[in-house]
Amino acid sequence: MRYPADKLAELYFRRWSIELFYRDIKTTMCMEAMRTKTPEIIEKELHMHALAYNCIRALILEGASTHQQELGRISFKGAVGLLRQWLPHAAHIHEQPRKLTHWQAQLLEAISSIQNPLRPGRREPRATKRRPKSYQLLTRPRHQFHEIQHRDHYRATA
């Protein structure tokens, strides 16, 4: 009575969208593996990724509101790709305010036009496409590493 089933289902659906946004951050922005070693630098790297993500989301929000598009349908990955393509041109015109303003308006229009198709009831199963290789992980420097010889002799049992 207190928490109707349809409201709980709606909350769960919204939570799933948030999980997809986290996946966008990790995969699209190459955050699956951190490149730094110390905790302080890892924290800085996380902050930089969060800053870049929020800037891209702000561009998506501005493009959606400027061109009356549905915010949830604009592709994050498409916006990142467009931004990577268009940034070199902005570097050439950064001292020309009128051209830069025109460039920004065109970028926002292009971002708002990259939309994901409507896919009601779509499932997003979590699975990996490729099978893991039977190689060991390189957990020590190469000069200290000793390969286990039986690793490449695995065979399926019948």
Which residues make Cβ contacts (< 8 Å) with residue 29, sequence separation at least 6?
A: 49, 52, 53, 80
Over residues 93-126, the pLDDT tens digits come to: 888 989 989 999 999 999 999 988 887 777 767 7
Specify the pLDDT at position 147. Answer: 75
Which residues make Cβ contacts (< 8 Å) with residue 154, sequence separation at least 6?
A: 134
Output the furthest CA–CA distance in the chain (Å, rounded). 71
Specify the pLDDT at position 29. Answer: 82
Over residues 22-79, the pLDDT tens digits come to: 777 788 888 877 788 899 998 998 899 889 989 999 999 999 999 998 888 898 889 9
- Give the bridge partners for 74, in sequence order: 115
Between 12 and 82, name the one with better pLDDT.
82
Specify the pLDDT at position 157. Answer: 56
